[in-house]
Amino acid sequence: MTQIYNFSAGPAVLPREVLLTVQQELTDWHGSGMCVMEMSHRGKEFTQIIHEAEADLRKLLGIPKNYKVLFLQGGAHLHFSMIPLNLLPENGTIDVVNTGHWSKIAIKEMKRFAKVNVIASSEDRNFSYVPAESTWQRSKEASLLHYCANETIGGVEFADIPKSEVPLICDMSSTILSRPMDVSKFGLIYAGAQKNIGPSGLCIAIIREDLLGKSRANTPTMMDYSVHADAESMYNTPPTFGIYVAGLVFKWLLNQGGLVAVEQKNIEKASLLYETIEASNGFYHCPVDKPFRSRMNVPFNIRNEKLDDDFLAGAKAAGLLQLKGHRSVGGMRASIYNAMPIEGVRVLCEYMRTFAKSHG
């Protein structure tokens, strides 16, 4: 059977080692006689699972003690409204940087509850870059700054963490755990799990403790960060199976040497793919300016877009799946999260070279 490599943007490929462990433990977790799906979330078995998952995540990211880790539901989407409801007063203002699709959705939703100030945008050039920080028009009245560290659809990634005097809020859905970072620079980090963490249905938030307890009076209980922090993510039934799989992914990352080692692999994978695009004499084109090219999501177009369907059909036959770009931008996109082995990227590059040769 052909070896399959899955380039989906999310839900995305999970490490095979993790899935094999899940398979082995599926009907009997550690001699408990139960599947994790069947366990009470308040029982001793699941308590061990969630505590270990949190401890391993803290180890991986070096999360300081004054930050809470929350295992939530509602996806990254729910944070777009949780952020203003929890962290801004009724007439509060948030500064935002607009670098693409997910920034725009966040802005639209946050506007329902707050004054949103777009302090920089790359819409003028179709979201192909990150505006230089020196050009950001920060507002005096803003008490938060929001940005999306990696635009999953556009393939634009911030190389550095922006400076901010107000708490920095980051949508890290598609880049969390891909490189080491200084969590202490953030007020709140949130990330849907379905890319670098585990199955969809789980969303992780990492929040500085002093930002808790300030929600508006009308904040729905389920949307109050403090409620989840006080209840240690057990206010209601948490997504137990997702937390279990995420915990296995964290162990898998630690076993590889942690995020320093993981980052090196990610740099290598992304370089191979971008070099293949660059070396194609224009047959393939990446629409993103070089310094901002994402290590996680690599969008590219074929010069003659009439070849798109052939490219995708041939890729599928070669075991290279889910390479079609997002419907809003077209073209191709190869998502190469942590769980994509370098061999998968090599096979894709070889396929791209062969396709270009036979269709150029």
173 binds ligand PLP (CB under 6 A): yes
Q: Is 152 annotated as a binding residue?
A: yes
| Shortest Å, Cβ 60 to ligand PLP | 20
Residues 72, 76, 107, 229: which binds ligand PLP (CB under 6 A)? 76
Sole window of 36-44, 167-175, 253-261, 298-306 interacting with ligand PLP (rule: CB under 6 A): 167-175
Catalytic residue among 68, 104, 195, 265: 195
Cα separation of the two ends of the chain: 30
Site for ligand PLP in 113-142 (CB under 6 A): none
Residues 54, 56, 171, 224: which binds ligand PLP (CB under 6 A)? 171
Distance, in Å, from the CA atom of 33 to the CA atom of 342, rounded to the nearest integer, reads: 37
Cβ proximity to ligand PLP: between 187 and 192 the closer is 192
Q: Please, are residues 9 and 324 in contact by the beta-carbon 8 Å criterion? A: no
10 binds ligand PLP (CB under 6 A): yes
152 binds ligand PLP (CB under 6 A): yes
Distance, in Å, from the CA atom of 313 to the CA atom of 14, rounded to the nearest integer, reads: 23
Q: Is 320 helix (H, G, I), strand (E, B) or coil?
A: strand
DSSP lists the bridge partners of residue 298 as 334
Active site residue 44: no
| Shortest Å, Cβ 75 to ligand PLP | 3
- Ranges of beta strands (E only) in 219-296 are 284-285
Active site residue 195: yes
What is the length of the chain?
360
Residues 15, 75, 167, 199: which binds ligand PLP (CB under 6 A)? 75
Cβ proximity to ligand PLP: between 71 and 283 the closer is 71
Dihedral (CA of 61, 66, 67, 68) sign? positive
Mind spelling out the 3-state secondary structure of 124-188?
HHCCCCCCCHHHCCCCCCCCEEEEECEECCCCEECCCCCCCCCCEEEECCCCCCCCCCCHHHCCE
Cβ proximity to ligand PLP: between 81 and 93 the closer is 81
Both tokens of residue 72?
């939530």
Active site residue 171: yes
**Which x/- pattern over 192-221 shows residues binding ligand PLP (rule: CB under 6 A)?**
x----------x------------------
Between vectors from CA 161 to CA 93 and to CA 201, what angle results, nearest 5°?
Answer: 75
Cβ proximity to ligand PLP: between 155 and 247 the closer is 155
Residues 102, 186, 283, 284: which binds ligand PLP (CB under 6 A)? 102
Cβ proximity to ligand PLP: between 318 and 332 the closer is 332
**Shortest Cβ contact with ligand PLP: which residue?**
75
Helices and strands in the chain: count of H runs, count of E runs: 9, 14
CB atoms within 10 A of CB 56: 19
Q: Is 240 annotated as a binding residue?
A: no
Both tokens of residue 241?
């199976």
Q: Is 194 annotated as a binding residue?
A: yes
Binding residues for L-glutamate, as ranges, are: 42
- Residues annotated as catalytic (active site), given as ranges: 102, 171, 195
